[in-house]
Amino acid sequence: MNYKEIDTPALLIDETVLNKNIKYMSNYAKEQNVKLRPHTKTHKMPHLAMEQVRNGAEGITVAKVGEAEIMAIYGLDDIFIANQIVGKQKLERIKKLAEQINISFGVDSVHHIEEIDEVFQGADKKAQVLIEIEVGEERSGIIEEVDYKLLLNSIRASKNVELKGIFSHDGHTYKAVDKDDCLDLFMTATTRTLHFANVARDMDFEVETISIGSTPPFMFGFDIPEGITEIRPGTYILMDGSQSNAIDSYAHSAASVLTTVISKPTAERVITDVGAKGLTAQSRSKGLTTTEGFGKIKEFEGVHIHGVFDEHAIIYNREFSNNVNIGDKISIIPNHICPVSNLYHKAYIVNDGEVVKEIEIAAQGKLQ
Q: What is the pLDDT of residue 313?
A: 98
Average pLDDT, the chain: 98
Q: pTM score, two decimals?
A: 0.97
Residue 344 · residue 360 · CB < 8 Å: no
Q: What is the pLDDT of residue 236?
A: 98
Q: Round to whole Å and give the CA distance between 287 and 313.
A: 25
Residue 219 · residue 236 · CB < 8 Å: yes
Contacts of 188 (CB under 8 A, 6+ apart): 135, 136
Q: Round to whole Å and give the CA distance between 343 and 306.
A: 20
Angle at 156 between CA 191 and CA 136, to 5 degrees: 25
Query: Could you tell me where in the chain the CATH 2.40.37.20 domains are found?
Result: 3-10+242-360
Query: Could you tell me where in the chain the CATH 3.20.20.10 domains are found?
Result: 15-237
CATH of 15-237, one of 3.40.50.300, 3.20.20.10, 3.20.20.140, 2.60.40.1930: 3.20.20.10
User: 88-93, long-range: CB within 8 Å, 24+ apart, which pairs?
Assistant: 88/115, 88/118, 88/119, 90/65, 90/368, 91/115, 91/116, 91/119, 91/120, 91/127, 92/119, 93/65, 93/69
Q: What is the pLDDT of residue 237?
A: 98
In 3D space, the residue among 128, 132, 152 whose CA is nearest the CA of residue 142 turns out to be: 132
Please tell me the CATH superfamily of domain 3-10+242-360, with its number: D-serine dehydratase-like domain (2.40.37.20)
Q: Round to whole Å and give the CA distance between 245 and 265.
A: 31
* Segments in 160-286 forming alpha helices (H): 179-202, 215-219, 241-247, 276-279
**pLDDT tens, the chain, 368 aa long:** 999 999 999 999 999 999 999 999 999 999 999 999 999 999 999 999 999 999 999 999 999 999 999 999 999 999 999 999 999 999 999 999 999 999 999 999 999 999 999 999 999 999 999 999 999 999 999 999 999 999 999 999 999 999 999 999 999 999 999 999 999 999 999 999 999 999 999 999 999 999 999 999 999 999 999 999 999 999 999 999 999 999 999 999 999 999 999 999 999 999 999 999 999 999 999 999 999 999 999 999 999 999 999 999 999 999 999 999 999 999 999 999 999 999 999 999 999 999 999 999 999 999 99
